[in-house]
Copies of this chain bind each other. A is one copy, B any other.
C-alpha cells in the first residue's frame, strides 16, 4: 500500500492511502460501513470479505461491498496488504491463528474493536516478522447490526483512536490514520491501557447499565411489559436503544475489558448508594447539587460537536 500525498478526492485534504487488497474479517455494521468508505474513496483495488454465515456473505456481495467473499480468514488474508478485524473481540485469536501465517512482510493488521489491551495480547503472537499491528477503535455505532445496517457516513466527525505499541512502525500507523481520516474521522493515538479505561466509562459502563435496567424492567411483576413499552418516552426508551446493541459483540467487550469495567462499576455503585441514601432520607440538596453539575457536562458535549441529533424537535 502507499500513501498518496496529492490529496485529491476529499475536500478535507486528507492524504489518500491505497491498498491492493483489503481483507475485512467480519462485515457487520462497522465492517460494511468501512467497506463503503473504501469504495467511495477508492482506497482499495480489491476487497475480500470474510464471514461465517452464508447469508452474510451473499448479502455483502449483493450490496457490492466486496469483490470476493469467503468463510476462511486465511483465504481472505492471502495477498492482502491490509487486514481489518471487524468481528467480536472474542474471535480475534482464532481468526489470526488462521490468517496470520499467510501474511507477507509489510502487511498491516488493524481492527475496529472497543477494547484494545486484548488486541495486542490476542493478535500479536500470530503475526510473522515484518507484519505491522495497528489496533484502532472508531468510536461510532448504531444499535443496528449486519452488512445492510452500515453506511459510509457513520464515522464522520467521530473520533478514531489508534493504540499501536511504542515500537510500532510509523508509516503503518500513518497509513491506518489516513484511512480513518478519509472516513471523515478525527484520529488520536493513545496508550491501549488508557484507552480501555476511557472507554470503560464513556461506553462500556453506559451499555452495562442500559442492559441492566432494561432487564430489571422486563422482570417486574407489578408493572406489565406493555406498560413499560407504552410509557417508555419518559426516559427508558433511550436505554433500550443502547441495550439493543449486538449481544455477542458486547459480551466480548465486557469479558475483554473486565478490569476497567469492574473499576468503573465500583465507583458507579458507590455514587449510586449515596443517591439512594439521599432519596431515602429526603436530602434534596445532595440531589439538586448533583443534577446541576451533570447539566454542565451535557453543554460541553454539545459544544464539542459530539451530541448527535436532538431526540425531539428542540423548539
The contact size tier of chain A is 35 or more
Beta-carbon contacts of A143-162 to B below 8 Å, as 1s and 0s? 11000111101100011010
Does A171 lie at the interface of the complex (its beta carbon under 8 Å from any beta carbon of B)?
no
Cα distance, A213 to B291, chains bound together (Å): 11
Cα distance, A291 to B243, chains bound together (Å): 7
Cα distance, A55 to B5, chains bound together (Å): 56
Partner of A232, one of B161, B202, B287, B299: B202
Cα distance, A314 to B206, chains bound together (Å): 21
**Contacts A158-B233, A298-B240; A218 near B293 (Cβ below 8 A):** yes
Closest to A283 in B: B255
**Contacts A269-B272, A311-B241, A313-B153; A140 near B297 (Cβ below 8 A):** no
Partner of A139, one of B233, B272, B279, B307: B233
Looking at chain A's contact residues, is the secondary structure mostly helix, strand, loop, or mixed? Answer: helix
Chain B residues near A230 (CB, 8 Å)? Answer: 159, 188, 304, 306
Nearest chain B CB to A64 CB, angstrom units: 14
Nearest chain B CB to A255 CB, angstrom units: 6
Nearest chain B CB to A285 CB, angstrom units: 8
B255 touches A227 (CB 8 A): no
A236 touches B203 (CB 8 A): yes
A213 touches B268 (CB 8 A): yes
Chain A residues 209-237 with CB under 8 Å of chain B are 209-220, 222-223, 225, 227-237
Does A205 lie at the interface of the complex (its beta carbon under 8 Å from any beta carbon of B)?
yes
A279 touches B258 (CB 8 A): yes
Does A6 lie at the interface of the complex (its beta carbon under 8 Å from any beta carbon of B)?
no
**Contacts A150-B315, A217-B201; A284 near B308 (Cβ below 8 A):** no
Does A295 lie at the interface of the complex (its beta carbon under 8 Å from any beta carbon of B)?
yes
Closest to A307 in B: B237
B161 touches A231 (CB 8 A): yes
Chain B residues near A124 (CB, 8 Å)? Answer: none
- Other than the known A213-B268, A215-B271, A247-B287, what 16 A-B pairs have Cβ atoms closer than 8 Å? A141-B234, A142-B312, A153-B313, A194-B223, A203-B231, A206-B234, A206-B236, A209-B209, A210-B235, A212-B268, A214-B298, A218-B297, A229-B297, A233-B306, A244-B294, A248-B288
A-B contact pairs, 25 of them (CB 8 A): A140-B312, A142-B311, A142-B312, A148-B315, A149-B315, A151-B314, A159-B231, A201-B223, A202-B232, A202-B234, A203-B236, A206-B213, A211-B294, A212-B272, A212-B275, A213-B268, A215-B290, A215-B293, A219-B267, A229-B297, A237-B306, A238-B239, A255-B282, A258-B279, A309-B309
